[in-house]
């Protein structure tokens, strides 16, 4: 039996679970009608270099679009909406992104979490997106609105030679950086503040107020890492903080200058926006971990 295409779905009521649906040789599982849905949570990682970002757009390939297309292969071409905990920008990576999607109960009843993970990963090839875990969740659970914390990591390769192995994964900065000075300056940003100076001018958040729980800067050999944790972030907030802290690391700004920039509540008062390649969404936390065994 040939696999159903999206074009076939509109004229055929059956839902087909395309391979891999089980052990080698098992036929696709067929269900009639439109059963109610089961919500699934998935944790995934991706290299954002070639994507236009998480969100589906008219031009270019997004992480959301390839995931939704992979999920639609499990429903015989019927659209499946995928909602993420955070909409990463073009070029930004994820090691612990979380999303949710709804699949018909007829399909879900024949899927274990591991089987759903493997089926999605099969259809995601060759895109640099991989589902790490999957779990059944309540219909009211939402990857974005149920989250209580998000952790980002920004990495700077601080050496004269350009990167080869980590290209598009770090920000290459040649001048020596004082990570201790950067860390001290970063503490001025920890807490609840108006982060207007550190959000994109196009940011659509209703309020610039955010509570930054952690902003640490450390060095391991040639790599300087900025770790940021908060319930939520403004558009470009982490990258704007990283660009500002670089000025401190190079000795061009003092720690007090960072505090002054914060109080100015003016984007032009802070440092430049760091490039996207160094940024990675590391983890999303919830009141109860949906992926716990």
Measured CA to CA, the distance from residue 234 to residue 34 in angstroms comes to 39
The two most distant CA atoms of the chain are separated, in Å, by: 69
**In this prediction, what percent of the chain has a pLDDT beyond 90?**
85
The catalytic site residues sit at 89
Q: Please state the pTM of the whole predicted model.
A: 0.86
Residue 249 CB neighbours (<10 A): 24
Write out the two tokens for 56: 């589906």
Q: What six digits make up the tokens of 220? A: 């391991």
Per-residue pLDDT tens, the chain, 293 aa: give them.
444 433 333 333 333 333 333 333 344 444 444 448 999 999 999 999 999 999 999 899 999 999 999 999 999 999 999 999 999 999 999 999 999 999 998 898 889 999 999 999 999 999 999 999 999 999 999 999 999 999 999 999 999 999 999 999 999 999 999 999 999 999 999 999 999 999 999 999 999 999 999 999 999 999 999 999 999 999 999 999 999 999 999 999 999 999 999 999 999 999 999 999 999 999 999 999 999 87
Instruction: Report the pLDDT value the prediction gives residue 163, as an integer from 0 to 100.
Output: 97
CB 215 within 8 A of CB 190: yes
> Nearest 5°: CA angle at 236, between 233 and 238?
65
Q: What is the DSSP letter of 89?
A: B
Instruction: Give me 23's structure tokens.
Output: 């052990």
Q: What is the pLDDT of residues 159-176, one digit of tens each?
A: 999 999 999 999 999 999
Residue 175 C-alpha from the chain's centroid: 30
Contacts of 171 (CB under 8 A, 6+ apart): 154, 155, 156, 157, 242, 274, 275, 277, 278
The pLDDT value given to residue 45: 98
Tokens of 87: 């909409």
Report pLDDT digits (tens) over 30-69: 444 444 899 999 999 999 999 999 999 989 999 999 999 9
Domains and CATH numbers, the chain: 31-137 (3.30.70.580), 149-285 (3.30.70.660)
């Amino acid at each position: 039996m040939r696999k159903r295409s999206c074009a076939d779905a509109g004229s055929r009521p059956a839902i087909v679970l395309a391979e891999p649906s089980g052990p080698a040789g098992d036929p696709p599982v067929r269900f009639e009608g439109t059963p109610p849905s089961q919500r699934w949570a998935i944790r995934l990682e991706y290299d954002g270099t070639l994507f236009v970002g998480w969100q589906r757009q008219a031009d270019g390939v997004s992480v959301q679009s390839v995931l939704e297309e992979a999920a639609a292969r499990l429903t015989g071409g019927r659209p499946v909406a995928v909602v993420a905990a955070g909409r990463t920008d073009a070029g930004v990576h994820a090691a612990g992104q979380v999303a949710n999607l709804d699949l018909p109960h007829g399909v879900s009843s024949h899927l274990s979490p591991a089987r759903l993970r493997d089926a999605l990963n099969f259809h995601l090839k060759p895109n640099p997106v991989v589902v790490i875990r999957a779990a059944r969740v309540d219909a009211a659970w939402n990857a974005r609105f149920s989250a209580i914390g998000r952790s980002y990591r920004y990495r700077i390769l601080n050496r004269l030679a350009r990167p080869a192995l980590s290209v598009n994964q770090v920000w290459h900065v040649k001048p020596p950086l004082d990570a201790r000075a950067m860390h001290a300056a970063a503490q001025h940003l920890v807490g609840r503040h108006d982060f207007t100076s550190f959000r994109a001018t196009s940011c659509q958040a209703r309020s610039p107020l955010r509570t930054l729980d952690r902003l640490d800067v450390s060095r391991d050999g040639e790599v300087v890492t900025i770790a940021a944790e908060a319930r939520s972030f403004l558009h470009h907030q982490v990258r704007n903080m990283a660009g500002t802290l670089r000025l401190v690391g190079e000795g061009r700004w003092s720690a007090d200058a960072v505090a002054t920039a914060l109080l100015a509540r003016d984007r032009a008062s802070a440092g430049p926006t760091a490039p996207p390649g160094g940024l990675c969404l590391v983890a999303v936390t919830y009141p109860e971990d949906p992926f716990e065994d």
